Structure 1
Amino acid sequence: MSADALAAASPAVALRAMRMDDLDAVMRIQREAYGDAYQESADVLGRKLSLAPEGCWFAERGGEGLGYVFAHPWSAGAPCLHAQIENLPPRADHGFLHDLAVSPRARGLGVGRGLFGKVRSWSERAGHQALALVALADAVAYWRGLGFAAEPLALPDGYGAGAVFMRYGPAWQG
């Protein structure tokens, strides 16, 4: 069944604030989206959710998890991948989109764009100057298509060859 036919035959995708009890579904979606290459632990992701719940969203349809996004306030550069953040910076100047993943079953349904829209709105309301992320090599074109631009920045270990720091901003001017 094509994505269009699936969308027409199924209830709409709902985007809602993420809850701690979504973490099992998040771990499943993460594995479906990335394989074994970039698995972060439920503890690391749960800490991000506990520190910045307003930047974390979950996509579902008919009770089935289809995608998620973790974002949090940040100040400079990129946080380490697979490392637990103890505290957020007290005066964060931008939002950091840490991870957005969509199950292959939901690709083509607008889940990624919808989750990005939630994070963009959150970051704008928080008064951030911009939104930043590290795009893995195979996702750079996707993020460029949403308006992100690459910036030269040395990245912490763990992001892999071809990963690029990107910024969306000034995000709220157009």
Structure 2
Amino acid sequence: MILQGTQASAAVVLRTMRVDDLGAVLRIQREAYGDAYQESAEVLGRKLGLAPGACWLAESGGEALGYVFAHPWAADAPPLHERIEDLPAQADHGFLHDLAVSPRARGLGVGRGLFGKVRCWSEQAGLGALTLVALADAAAYWRGLGFTAVPLALPTGYGAGAQFMRCGLEAGA
């Protein structure tokens, strides 16, 4: 998928993520979240290894601008900062673990494009919903994409004001 950015001279390309993208992912993660939510290359690399078809990178002119990690899931919210050893055998929804966009790319449609990839992946997999944990300042963004808050106690690490959210999908509805 190619997005045409109004502020960029080159098109934004969305492609499946590769292990050698993790350095750029960590850079974007720090730009987007500061020091608050840094996950290790090992934790993120494991997610990529478990669900390579559900992880994408946005780039323009060879520069990484954003990323998304998702995977099949069957429980509530997985713990943050911990390695997931195996995916559940009976996954019934996709979990959007992290979507981040570099401040340099905001306003170019990168976040919506990456979300569209995850939504399409989830629908094609026959999953009934997408879930995520929205950090306090991102809940309104996710509501705008069709997510609703679900009352749920979250594992430690997500921070004050974080919300578990769910969006039903056509494929599994």
Cα deviation for residue 93 of structure 1 reads: 0.2
Equivalent residue, structure 2, for 1:106: 105
1:97 partner SS: strand
1:34 aligns with 2:40: no
1:128-154 C-alpha deviation (Å, 9 max, x unpaired): 110000000000000001110000111
Q: Which amino acid aligns with 2:164?
A: F
Percent of aligned positions that are identical = 77
Equivalent residue, structure 1, for 2:136: 137
Cα deviation for residue 65 of structure 1 reads: 0.2
Q: Distance in 2 between matches of 1:65 and 1:32?
A: 12
Equivalent residue, structure 1, for 2:126: 127
Q: Distance in 2 between matches of 1:104 and 1:81?
A: 23
Cα deviation for residue 91 of structure 1 reads: 1.1
> 1:84-95 residue pairs with structure 2 within 5 A?
84-95=83-94
Q: Distance in 2 between matches of 1:47 and 1:120?
A: 21
Question: Structure 1-normalised TM-score?
Answer: 0.94
Q: Distance in 1 between matches of 2:123 and 2:163?
A: 23
1:72 aligns with 2:37: no
Equivalent residue, structure 2, for 1:161: 160
Q: Distance in 2 between matches of 1:145 and 1:42?
A: 30
1:34-67 C-alpha deviation (Å, 9 max, x unpaired): 0000000000000000000011000000000000
Q: Which amino acid aligns with 1:74?
A: W
1:6-55 C-alpha deviation (Å, 9 max, x unpaired): 23xx1100000000000000000000000000000000000000000011
Q: Distance in 2 between matches of 1:172 and 1:163?
A: 26
Equivalent residue, structure 1, for 2:62: 63
Q: Which amino acid aligns with 1:56?
A: C
1:62-103 C-alpha deviation (Å, 9 max, x unpaired): 000000000000001000000000000011000000000000
1:45 aligns with 2:44: yes
> 1:1-40 residue pairs with structure 2 within 5 A?
4=6, 6-7=7-8, 10-40=9-39
For structure 1, the 5+ residue unaligned runs are none
Q: Distance in 2 between matches of 1:118 and 1:155?
A: 26
Equivalent residue, structure 2, for 1:172: 170
- Number of aligned residues: 168
Q: Which amino acid aligns with 1:27?
A: L
Equivalent residue, structure 2, for 1:54: 53
For structure 2, the 5+ residue unaligned runs are none
2:32 partner SS: helix
Q: Distance in 2 between matches of 1:147 and 1:73?
A: 19
Q: Distance in 2 between matches of 1:13 and 1:79?
A: 31
RMSD (CA atoms): 1.2
Q: Which amino acid aligns with 2:121?
A: W
Cα deviation for residue 172 of structure 1 reads: 1.5
